[in-house]
Structure 1
Amino acid sequence: MSRLSPGALDTALAVISGKIGILQKTQEQLRILLDSNQASIATLEAERRDLEAQRYPIHWLPPELLIQIFVLATDTYDATAHIDITPVRLSHVCRKWRDISLSEPILWRRVFLRPDDLRHRHVISSAATAFVSRSRGSAVEVVFSGRPSDPQTLLVQSALLLALKDTQGHVFSTLPPLKSISFQSGYDFMVNMLTFLRNGKDAYPSLQSIDLTLIHPASAHLFDSLRNDNAPVFMNPWNRQHFPSLQEVSVQDVALGCLPLGQLPALRELSLQVTPWAPQPPYRANFLHIIHLARFLACAPNLERLVLIRGGPIFNLQVDPDAPAAFWAEDRAWRHVSHTRIPPVPMEHLRELEWTGAHPDSLHFFFTHFPAPNLELLDVAFVDVNKHNAPLHGPDPIAVASVTADTPAPGLLQPVLELSRLKVLRVECTSGDVLRAPFLKLCFPALETLSIANADLSLRWAGAGSNAFSTLPHLPRTESIFRDPRMPRLTHLMLSAFTVLQEHAPTMLAYMPALEHLECDIVDGVSALLAALAATRAHVGGPKYCPRLSRIDLWCCEDVGFVLLEMVVKLRNGFRKHAEAPVPQPASMPNGRVIKPLRRTARAGTESPLTQEETCAKITEVHVDGCPSISEDDARSLEKWGVKVLWSPPSKHPS
């Protein structure tokens, strides 16, 4: 083999080097192209994800609307949790939602505190710090829940006393302005909370809501401790406006005498809840005395809604209309009950009163102490004193015994009170006898909606053919329930879990000439009501009772038959002559005594709005739910008379 000459070698090396250079340039170009492709792929992937996201309607919404949805999502929360988890979850959905969530301070308004956070000069947790930072100085809602069974919730007495003297070291003094406080704790923490509210050097201009719950109630102990042991600290200045924006107050087992008083011009709603307890000595019920509720309401002249749950105040003092207006400004009115008479507290702006666990005779006492001329809604649930041995003046018979021994018994000559603007009256009880006392000294000339319900669930219907209707209590005559049974403006009547006697039905309906909607829920005696509605006026024809009736609702009524229901519809819709199928016209009570008509009175504004010449209204709606005697075919047949029908079959265990 011949050896290449040096020139040939140089030429060959140059050719190979050139090829390598070309390949390297090609490789670089391919690398650049590959990087470009990778970038294009990444861009296209991002566009694809965006397009995929746009397939869901939630991503079509603008950020402003998403913020409104997020705010609604954070309205509810778990008070026993350690953090408000909803805004955290919203911020973890995607980058867009995170940016929106972090940009809206109102989503981070709720700050949860731990038991350790309430220790004097203690730094709050990192989670609470993050929420405070993201709220950006806007008003916050403080939530605290400390269970007495948790060892961490117990404060040493030295730290508690230190906090009582120096509120500047309290955790609340380090937070942004407060919008609301929701506080659930035992005795020690509740003292801490109430101390801060009372002794804060500055007012709370942004505070709108306070919700205090004493866990494992020791209400009397808390009240006595604050009133006696800390009398110089827990004073209640009358003229102070410490809470100018406070709108809602809700307390459970916390005495009103423990709350920081002063003028509350913006307060609109007050809710008081009492947990049932065993009435055994040495229980003290002085924290429930009427004087504490009266003084608190005297500080809130613009209150619109009052809720009393499972009981109310002890009416141990009489009303003195001549008492001076400066009575409530005296500190002794809160600390020492040394009087037997107190001035009434007019509630000019009160619109709604809800009261559960009320004694049947306490309603008149309440309106004597707190006149409410503009009350529009009264929702009251009476306790059966025969079954529960409930005392007249409060939930504790021992305390009542000591009170009533020195207080004159309620007089039988107390004046009749008129609630001239009451439109809605809802009543719950467990027997018909309970209804015979509460309203005999009250008048409701403008009543439009009346609901009377039996709250004893043990008497509820157990199913078709169960014969449980025989245990339903009898609904008393209207004259036995109301002082003036005439209800010329009543448009809606609801009856639940009662027996309506045949001889009482026509009389009751005769007092309701403007009735438009009749609703019966698990009622025995619906046939008597329908028979009265099917009665005609002599000689002139047309319905004899309730000529404006347009809707009938029947829920789980066992004795109702289709024939009577059809007669009512045909009569009122113009398809039946008045001479057809006469119905019973009882005119006496079971003992044979004739029912005498009420004496006519010239009460202004109570005349019947319906004249004899007006046209009868037509039945436009009939709802039949769970009535075994009315089949679907029968109910649907009413549609040919121009009626809208809703029918549901009976269930084994109706709600």
Structure 2
Amino acid sequence: MTTANRFAVLSVDDIQEPSATVMAESRSPISWIPNEILILIFLAISDDPLHLTWVCQHWRSLAQNVPHLWTQTRTAWPIEALDVILSRSRALPLDVNIDATSTTLLRTAFSDQLARVRSLSTVLRSESRVEIQKLVTFIATQNFAVLEDLSINVQTSHTNLLQVIPARGHSDAKVRCALRALSLVNLPCEYIPENMLQNLTLLNISYPHAEEGQALKLCDLVNMLALTPMLDTLIITNTPVDGSEAVPSSRIVNLKHLTALQWDGCPDTLFSVFLRNVTLPALTLLEFDLRTVPAHLQYYAEPAPVTALATTTLLSLKANQLFRTARILRRFEFPVLESLELTNTELKMPVLPKMETLFRTPSMLRLTHLIVTAFTFESEDVLEMLGYMPALVSLWVDACAGLPALLQALAHGRCPVLEELEFWECDDLSGSDILDVAQRSPWPEDGRYIKNLPKRGRKQDEMHGVRLKRVKIDSCRCVDEEEVEELRDGGVEVDYRQYVDNDLDD
């Protein structure tokens, strides 16, 4: 058999029953695998296709002729062989990943391939202002015809270098950019040309190493968002924000497509200012970590009007002083809220504030999922809180205290359609208290119907209440195996992970 025939694609009959000749020509059964199947294996498991070419001549020939294997470039590839490697991808879109101390590789090896770069992720590790200048200029002046995903990470300990680089308000490129996702780390957003913002659906900004006086200006952020009419998701993490330069009150940006807003580490007063300058008619997910700043660093802003976030179904709030953020929350109404997450980021464990303190409208008739982290429950407050949530189906409690008060309220009829409980690292959780909840009557103690409760597919006769179905207990000190077995005997599905004291010597 000739070499060409040996590497040829096998017929259907050969795939079903390999001939004796083919099997005899190889000592290894792996060589009996049809080429079609071998290609699928290559595509599924290969992190670096170069490794495939080192196995045998058959694999080398096969891998070199599969263009999809060579569309993801890697910095580890030898520069002198990069042209040959890129040619194997033929005309397919490229996913380029570069981690280097200069921009030479990006500006030279890929200069002829930019028209087919689909995603570009570059990490520049440099203390040189010249190299950072080159990167910014290169990105702003090139035609990326099919670029959809761009990630720029400038790793420098001197972020003040970035302030002397002239920002570019537009690109010299004439081609309308197809960019959909943009991620910036330590690179001010004003350096991105306007044509790259027109079709953005995802914007991720992180500026963790900013020095004093180098924070992201709120006015720059609002101005940038005005250039992103298609934005769907906005993520801001580890980014100090400067609100000293006021945003004109007439500057209102309508983010009509934005469905998710995640902001980590935002000063509480600035969050209110930000929301005065944007409208969010389609917002579904609101997740923010508010940091209370000292009084002398706070920015004065006129009180924002009360806004109804009529489409927001998921709210996640993290704060170091949750009760002090109430003035922010009470500027909003959440009429269709379905999932609520409250997380305390202080070292101490404060009492969970009352719902009427946090929310302008504490009644949450549509709320089905609640997560509470690092708070203490008090008897009277928790009774009132759960009374506002008649449709609650799932309750997760993480590292909280006062669990007897919480479970007692549930055992006495609060949240009558509750089906699922999860507990993580709750030291005063008792299995007997959970058992009381599992054994409660599925109807409210006063025998009344649950009014205004959304049906969500339930039958009318099920609206009176249901019994507890699932419980997860993870690393809770006071729960033992015997109590878990009692729950299981009562028909409750239990996922149990025993508490392990890591301080004990092995």
Matched, 1:65 2:35: no
Matches within 5 A, 1:140-179: 140-147=94-101, 153=102, 172-177=110-115, 178-179=117-118
C-alpha distance after superposition, 1:130-169 (max 9, x if no partner): 322222233323333333xxxxx499xxxxxxxxxxx9x8
Deviation readout 1:525-545 (Å, 9 max, x if unpaired): 11111111111xxxxxxx2x2
2:320 is equivalent to residue 380 of structure 1: no
SS of the aligned residue for 2:329 comes to coil
Q: Deviations over 1:525-570 (max 9, x none)?
A: 11111111111xxxxxxx2x21110111122212122332222111
Quote the residue 1:127 is aligned against: 81
Q: What is the identity, as a one-letter code, of the residue corresponding to 1:258?
A: Y
2:495 aligned with 1:557, yes or no?
Answer: no
Give the structure 2 partner of residue 255 of structure 1: 188
SS of the counterpart of 2:199? coil
Alpha-carbon contact 1:317-1:341 (below 8 Å) kept: no
Match of residue 151, structure 2, among 211, 216, 228: 211
**Residue identity matched to 2:380:** E
Q: Are the aligned partners of 1:139 and 1:176 in contact in 2 as well (CA < 8 Å)?
A: no
- The aligned counterpart of 1:348 is 256
**Structure 1 residues 69 and 266: alpha-carbon distance in aligned structure 2, compared to 1, 3 A threshold:** same
* SS class of match (1:262): helix
User: For residue 10 of structure 2, what is the aligned residue in structure 1?
Assistant: none
- Tell me, what secondary structure is at the counterpart of 1:642? coil
The structure that is helix-richer by fraction is 1
Equivalent in the alignment of 2:357: 480
Amino acid at match of 1:426: S
| Matched AA of 1:527 | P
How big is the shift at 1:272?
0.4
Distance 1:318 1:242, change over 3 A: farther
Q: Quick check: 1:498–1:524 contact (8 Å CA) kept in 2? A: yes
**Equivalent-residue separation in structure 2 for 1:385 and 1:317 (angstroms):** 18
Q: 8 Å contact 1:620–1:644 — kept in the other structure?
A: yes
TM-score in terms of structure 1 length: 0.65
Alignment map for 1:300-339 (pairs within 5 Å): 300-311=228-239, 313-316=241-244
In 1, distance between residues paired with 2:380 and 2:480? 28
SS in 2 for 1:523: coil
Letter paired with 2:291: V
Residues 454, 127 of structure 1: alpha-carbon distance in 2 compared, 3 angstrom cutoff: farther
Name the CA distance, whole Å, in 2 between partners of 1:390 and 1:144.
Answer: 43
**Cα pair distance change 1:621/1:630, threshold 3 Å:** same
**Structure 2: how far apart are the matches of 1:63 and 1:53?**
9
Cross-structure match for 2:205: 272
Distance of aligned partners of 1:374 and 1:317 in 2 relative to their CA distance in 1, 3 Å threshold? farther
Letter of the 1:194 counterpart: V
2:97 is paired with a residue whose SS is: strand
Identity %: 25
Unaligned runs of 5+ in 2: 1-20
Equivalent in the alignment of 2:405: 528
**Partner SS for 2:340:** strand
Shift of 1:382: 2.1
Q: Match of 2:343, SS?
A: strand
Aligned residues: 471
Q: Which residue of 1 aligns with 2:140?
A: 198
Looking at secondary structure, tell me which structure has more strand per residue. Answer: 2
Q: 1:154 to 1:183 in 2, by over 3 A?
A: closer
Select the structure of larger CA radius of gyration.
Answer: 1
1:420 corresponds in structure 2 to 310
Partner of 1:615: 464
Q: Which residue of 2 aligns with 1:294?
A: 222
Structure 1 residues 341 and 573: alpha-carbon distance in aligned structure 2, compared to 1, 3 A threshold: closer
Deviations 1:469-497 (A, max 9, x none): xx422221112222221111111111111
The 1-side partners of 2:336 and 2:34 are apart by 52
What secondary structure sits across from 1:299 in the alignment?
A: coil
Query: Secondary structure of the equivalent of 1:571?
Result: coil
Letter in 2 for 1:615: H
1:517 pairs with one of 394, 398, 402 = 394
Contact kept in structure 1, 2:83 and 2:109, CA below 8 Å: no
- Please give the alpha-carbon distance, in whole angstroms, between the structure 2 residues aligned to 1:210 and 1:645: 45
Offset at 1:263? 6.3
Q: CA RMSD in A?
A: 3.4
Q: Is 1:442 the counterpart of 2:337 in the alignment?
A: no
Aligned-pair distance for 1:578?
5.2
Q: Find the partner of 2:166 among 211, 223, 226.
A: 226
What is the CA–CA distance in structure 2 between the aligned matches of 1:556 and 1:348, rounded to whole Å?
A: 41
1:368 counterpart (265, 271, 276): 276
Q: What whole-Å deviation, never above 9, does each CA across 1:276-316 have from its counterpart, x for those lacking one?
A: 4453xxx454xx22333223222221111111011254334
From 29, 45, 48, give the equivalent of 1:51.
Answer: 29
Q: Would the alpha carbon gap of residues 343 and 277 (structure 1) be closer, same or farther in structure 2, given more than 3 Å must change? A: closer
Cα–Cα, structure 1 residues 649 and 154, in superposed 2: closer, same or farther, change >3 Å?
Answer: closer
Cα 1:453–1:60 change in 2 (3 A) is farther
In structure 2, relative to structure 1, the CA distance for the partners of 1:416 and 1:60 (3 Å cut) is same
5+ residue gaps, structure 1:
1-42, 75-85, 118-123, 148-152, 156-166, 228-233, 320-339, 394-408, 460-470, 536-542, 580-605
2:170 maps to what in 1?
Answer: 236
Change beyond 3 A, Cα 1:225–1:195: same
Q: Is the 8 A contact 1:291 1:342 kept in 2?
A: no
Judge conservation of contact 1:266–1:302 (CA < 8 Å) in 2: yes
Amino acid at match of 2:219: I
**2:401 touches 2:427 (CA, 8 Å); kept in 1?**
yes
**What secondary structure sits across from 1:438 in the alignment?**
helix
The residue identity in structure 2 corresponding to 1:307 is I
Shift of residue 67, structure 1, vs aligned partner: 4.6
Contact 2:382 2:405 in 1 (8 A): yes
Counterpart amino acid of 1:440? R
Shift of 1:517: 0.5
Counterpart of 2:67 (choices 97, 102, 105) is: 105
3-state DSSP of counterpart to 1:363: helix
